Amino acid sequence: VTCPALEMPVHGAGNCSEPSVELTWGTTCEFTCEEGFTLTGPATLQCGSSGAWDKQQPTCAAVRCEAVPWPEEGFVTCDRAPADLTYGSRCDFQCSEGYVLDGSSSIQCTAQGRWSEPVPKCKGKTLWVGNCSFLGTGEHIEIHIPICSKLNSVLPFVQCKPLSSPEKGSVDCSHSAGLFTYNTSCHFSCLEGWSLSGPHVLECSHSGNWSASLPTCEASEQASYVAVGIAATSASLLSTASFLLWLARRF
């Protein structure tokens, strides 16, 4: 008594106890599947006394992974349809503008039917604008850290009002493109004979205000003495000239 020949399952293999061509009564055949596939049906068949196999021949089915959820504020692209995410399938993740990926950007379906990595999340970006400023001494300090209050919004940069040169003086600023932005410094100076009243340097602070009031140029003491001397000399000469003119008219 012999049983009909068996076909090897796709993505699988079989091993029978009787290596001969004829599969006689009592012969047993064991089946296995390739990596990433699971056996559907009995793992062992036996040839019966009636010349028929005792069970239906098994098949190998691909291992499937669960559908991948879309991350909030992001999206996912897989190389196969959601209902066909079998062993070896790959899914890539990206986040919307203003968000960054927290986790792996790519995951694969493993032979165990699980994804290689947890599904990543999209988190809001943390913006670091400039450096932190530390104000104060001793046990307490004041820290200024700019933060975003609203995602996907255009954040205005810190800008101070333009400065004008003081009368009898000039100003030189470190700004670029005519913008008095945060940390811009402006240096003031006066013409010869004039002295600066106020700070020599102003800086644009994180609040959009200048660090101090605009300085002015005042006449120096030496210049004042010279001016007084010139005025006195002029008055004396004018008086002398008037006296001489009076004498000339008398004689």
pLDDT tens, per residue, the chain with 251 residues:
889 988 889 999 999 887 667 788 999 999 999 999 999 999 999 999 999 999 999 999 999 999 999 888 899 999 999 889 999 999 999 998 878 899 999 999 999 999 999 999 998 765 554 444 444 444 544 445 455 444 444 445 678 888 889 999 999 988 755 678 888 899 999 999 999 999 999 999 888 899 999 999 998 876 555 454 555 555 555 666 565 666 666 66
Q: Which residues contact 246 (CB under 8 A, 6 or more apart)?
A: none
Distance in Å from the first CA to the final CA of the chain = 172
In whole angstroms, what is the distance from residue 198 CA to residue 215 CA? 4
pLDDT (0 to 100) of residue 20:
64
pLDDT at 234: 57
Q: What token pair was written down for 159? A: 């800008």
Contact 190, 169 (CB under 8 A): yes
What Rg do the C-alpha atoms of the chain give, in angstroms?
Answer: 46
Domain 156-244 fold: Complement Module; domain 1 (2.10.70)
Residue 116, pLDDT score: 95
Per-residue pLDDT, 154: 45
**Domains of the chain: which residue ranges?**
2-62, 74-124, 156-244
- Position 127 scores a pLDDT of 54
Which of the 8 DSSP states describes residue 206?
A: T
Going 124 to 105 to 116 to 59, the CA torsion angle's sign is positive
Fold: same for 74-124 and 156-244: yes
Residue 152: the pLDDT is 45
The reported pLDDT for the residue numbered 187 is 92
CATH architecture of the domain 2-62 equals Ribbon (2.10)
CA 182 to chain centre: 21
pLDDT of residue 104: 93
Q: Does domain 74-124 have CATH number 2.10.70.10?
A: yes
Q: What is the pLDDT of residue 136?
A: 46
Reported pTM: 0.45
Q: Which residues contact 84 (CB under 8 A, 6 or more apart)?
A: 64
